[in-house]
Amino acid sequence: MKRVFSGVQPSGELTLGNYLGAIRNFATFQHQAECFFSVVDLHALTVPQDPGNLRRRTHDVAKLFIACGIDPDVATIFIQSHVGAHAELTWLLLCLTYMGELQRMTQFKEKSQGKENVSAALFTYPVLMAADILLYDTHEVPVGEDQKQHLELTRDIAIRVNNRFGEVFVVPEPYIPPKNTGGRIMSLTDPTKKMAKSADANSSIALLDPPDVIAKKIKSAVTDSGREVRYDEVEKPAISNLMVIYSLCSGDSLDDIAARYGTSGYGKFKKDLADVVIQTLTPIQARYEELSEPGVIESILAAGAAKAEPIAQRTLSRLQDKMGIV
């Protein structure tokens, strides 16, 4: 059976971008493949984290996976640091990855820009991501467009290892939503930047934002000159981004949205967009609350780690053996 793996960092409050670009698709994949979805806490540590927030957000991401439709009886949900093989395989892969490959990673360049103290782990992060994926003999990885380059590196490492040591890894393929279907949701305050959970709170809609906050953020989202609601990424990047969000939350096509709001101005469009987003997030928030009973998420995550651990260990042992580790 086909295997699917994907992870989400508990590095901030999950956003509509994370949902539309990745998590929404996890729920679809669980009925087509054997799925592993991880809260990748070790990745979050590549930038400074408040320990209390990290602990809370780690559980929050797992609860939101389930609230967004992942069934823990069907897919395996676990915390990355609970399966030691992730960190161990990373070391072996780091020995097989070149500095030049990591220096080309655009996400590192963006995240380190202007920072005085950048951790070595932020630089090697894509190798930890490669280990996450390769441990589960993954065929397909549902991610947003921003992860495309990391996926290419994962494939390069897998192919290199297989060429050098014989068949060790399955070479994975990314699944990135096609254009205009959520692969890259942009910031509400700057449509040239992607919506990101660690950025300013006003630039994104968090999955747990209350309705009045969602309405306020959408009302104050930047727009383009003119007043026509029309999809045009070059002339109208801000409105085009809001139209994509509307389309994905409502199921209406971009053409239908343009026909409905074309000349009626941005105000009415934004008000209806807020309603559509609130309708999408309300059931997710209700399900999240139900999972907040003490002990519920902990036992789901313990069962997930117990299922992931032996699979990951088998893959790790395969490479250790090939590399001559006694």
For ligand AQP, the binding residues (CB under 6 A) are 7-9, 11-12, 15, 17-18, 21-22, 143-144, 146-147, 182-185, 194-198
Q: How many residues are present in the chain?
A: 326
CB nearer to ligand AQP: pick between 97 and 241: 241
Instruction: Tell me the helices (H) and strands (E) count for the chain, helix number first.
Output: 14, 5
- Cβ of residue 222: shortest distance to ligand AQP, in angstroms? 16
Contact 7, 39 (CB under 8 A): yes
CB nearer to ligand AQP: pick between 139 and 318: 139
Report the candidate in 92, 93, 83 with the shortest Cα–Cα distance to residue 311: 83
Burial class of residue 257 (count of CB atoms within 10 Å of its CB; 0-12, 13-18, 19+): buried
- Cβ of residue 167: shortest distance to ligand AQP, in angstroms? 27
CB nearer to ligand AQP: pick between 8 and 153: 8
Residue 167 is which amino acid? E
CB nearer to ligand AQP: pick between 19 and 261: 19
CB nearer to ligand AQP: pick between 207 and 319: 207
Catalytic residues: 111, 194, 197
Strands (E), 10-165: 34-39, 76-79, 140-142
- Cβ of residue 108: shortest distance to ligand AQP, in angstroms? 11
- Cβ of residue 156: shortest distance to ligand AQP, in angstroms? 19
| Residues ≥6 apart with Cβ < 8 Å to 17 | 144, 185, 194, 195, 196, 197, 204
| Residues ≥6 apart with Cβ < 8 Å to 85 | 131, 135, 309, 312, 313, 315, 316
Any bridge partners for residue 3, and if so which?
34
CB nearer to ligand AQP: pick between 12 and 191: 12
Any bridge partners for residue 232, and if so which?
236
- Cβ of residue 111: shortest distance to ligand AQP, in angstroms? 7
Contact 100, 112 (CB under 8 A): no
Crossing angle of the two packed helices 254-261 and 266-290, in degrees rounded to 10? 130
- Cβ of residue 193: shortest distance to ligand AQP, in angstroms? 9
Report the candidate in 112, 139, 96 with the shortest Cα–Cα distance to residue 322: 96
